[in-house]
């Protein structure tokens, strides 16, 4: 990598002793060494209020196949709905740890609160991520377990329900456009992932200030195993995407929703759309918070390349399997 294009995320930091060693990434993952300062390609920001879905489909299909990532504006979710969601989530994370721990994950459950000091189950090194998080499902009603929804602040439930209701409309529009962009009927992509049974898993990532943001990561490099991820961050940048082996900062775009293509869309499209490899950095002085919602097929639903997209010249590149089995292999780092 050319040194001139490399940017140090925290050049003012002084010594490695500033953070515990189990947060320090190996050099090939350290953002201070591996972040590329400028892009020679554009990270797409797409206005989705275009009522011509054919035209919109082309733009979205291009971003989905070239990068697997874009941000959408003019999505129709009112600013105050997002503000209420973000205020409630921030207030929860600012509570004393004992109160947050009432929502801790139970053995074997993905939902619940996890602390920053939890070890990642990845790699032999067990390096920790500089982040706290809370997971819980928000849609459809039969998969929701309110045990994991904070009761404090009181506004949390209503704010989250209202955001979810609005987000479903955006998700449906994106699915329709992505389906048309593959030459399919508008409903086929969503139907291939479970249709109205698609499950919405919300996560809140809370990244406190870090004295050595050049050495640590919030969330390490990964692709999302879901279909699509729709995310609203606070104003502190930190998301990076990988393209052709290099890491690029994603700008914070006010009022935008960040869209990641996940593994299940890559599979259904038989590789035409790409799941984006991404990670998060942390800030020396400011707290970053993000609210991804992962749109997941039901556990027993089988996902595979959409039959209309495969033929003798373009055979299936991926296995069809139950989402439960896909998730098990991904989480345990087993071959798919």
**What's the length of the chain?**
336
**Is residue 150 within 8 Å of 226, Cβ to Cβ?**
no
C-beta of 54: minimal distance to ligand AKG in Å? 31
Is 292 an interacting residue with respect to ligand AKG (CB under 6 A)? yes
Query: Is 283 one of the annotated active-site residues of the chain?
Result: no
| Unique residue bearing structure tokens 């050099």 | 27
Q: Alpha-carbon distance 186 to 175, whole Å?
A: 8
Position closest to ligand AKG via CB: 290
CB 203, min distance to ligand AKG, A: 5
Output phi, psi for 24, to 5 deg. -85, 125
Cα gap 248→67, rounded to integer Å? 12
Among 24, 57, 215, 231, binds ligand AKG (CB under 6 A): 231
Q: With binding defined as CB under 6 A, does residue 264 bind ligand AKG?
A: no
Binding status of residue 205 toward ligand AKG by CB under 6 A: yes
- CA-based nearest residue to 276, from 229, 326, 321, 327: 229
Asked if residue 239 binds ligand AKG (CB under 6 A), the reply is yes
Catalytic-role residue among 214, 224, 263, 283: 224
Give the Cα separation of 197 and 298 in Å (integer).
7
Binding segment for ligand AKG (CB under 6 A), chosen from 40-48, 88-96, 153-161, 231-239, is 231-239
Least Cβ distance, residue 231 to ligand AKG (angstroms): 6
Beta strand 302-303 with 321-322 is antiparallel
* Residue among 34, 296, 60 nearest 190 (CA): 296
Q: How far is the CB of 299 from ligand AKG (least distance, A)?
A: 19
Q: What is the maximal distance between C-alpha atoms in the chain?
A: 59
**How many residues contact ligand AKG, by CB under 6 A?**
10
**What is the x/- site pattern for ligand AKG, positions 140-179, by CB under 6 A?**
----------------------------------------
Sheet holding 35-36, edge to edge: 35-36, 246-249, 239-243, 278-280
Cα separation, 323 vs 227, whole angstroms: 10
DSSP-derived letter for residue 40 is: S
278 touching ligand AKG, by CB under 6 A? yes
Q: Which of 62, 90, 222, 330 is catalytic?
A: 222
When asked if residue 203 is in the footprint of ligand AKG (CB under 6 A), the reply is yes
Which of residues 134 and 184 has its CB atom nearest to ligand AKG in the complex? Answer: 134
* Chain residues that interact with ligand AKG, rule: CB under 6 A: 203, 205, 219, 231, 233, 239, 278, 280, 290, 292
Q: Residues with catalytic annotation? A: 203, 222, 224, 278
């Amino acid at each position: 990598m050319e040194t001139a294009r490399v940017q140090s995320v925290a050049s003012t930091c002084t010594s490695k002793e500033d953070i515990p060693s189990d947060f320090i990434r190996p050099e090939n993952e350290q953002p201070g060494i591996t972040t590329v300062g400028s892009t020679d390609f554009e990270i797409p920001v797409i206005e989705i209020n275009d009522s011509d879905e054919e035209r919109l489909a082309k733009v979205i299909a291009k971003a989905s196949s070239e990068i697997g990532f874009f941000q959408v504006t003019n999505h129709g979710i009112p600013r105050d709905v997002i503000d209420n969601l973000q205020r409630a989530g921030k207030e929860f994370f600012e509570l004393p740890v004992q109160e947050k721990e009432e929502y801790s994950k139970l053995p074997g459950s993905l939902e619940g609160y996890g602390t920053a000091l939890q070890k990642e189950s990845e790699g032999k090194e067990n390096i920790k991520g500089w982040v706290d998080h809370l997971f819980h499902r928000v849609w459809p009603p039969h998969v929701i377990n309110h045990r994991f929804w904070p009761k404090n602040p009181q506004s949390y439930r209503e704010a989250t329900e209202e955001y979810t209701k609005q987000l479903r409309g955006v998700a449906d529009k994106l699915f329709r456009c992505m389906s048309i962009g593959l030459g399919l009927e508008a409903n086929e992509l969503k139907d291939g992932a479970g249709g109205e049974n698609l499950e919405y898993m919300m996560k809140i990532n809370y990244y406190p200030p870090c004295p050595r943001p050049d050495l640590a990561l919030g969330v390490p490099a990964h692709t999302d195993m879901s279909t699509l991820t729709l995310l609203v961050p606070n104003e502190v940048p930190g998301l990076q995407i990988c393209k052709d082996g290099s890491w690029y900062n994603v700008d914070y775009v006010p009022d935008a929703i960040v869209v990641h293509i996940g593994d299940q869309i890559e599979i259904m499209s038989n590789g035409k759309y790409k799941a984006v490899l991404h990670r998060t950095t942390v800030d020396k002085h400011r707290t970053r918070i993000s609210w991804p919602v992962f749109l997941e097929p039901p556990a027993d639903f089988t996902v595979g390349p959409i039959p209309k997209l495969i033929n003798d010249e373009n055979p299936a590149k991926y296995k069809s399997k139950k989402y439960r089995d896909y998730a098990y292999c991904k989480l345990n780092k087993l071959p798919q």
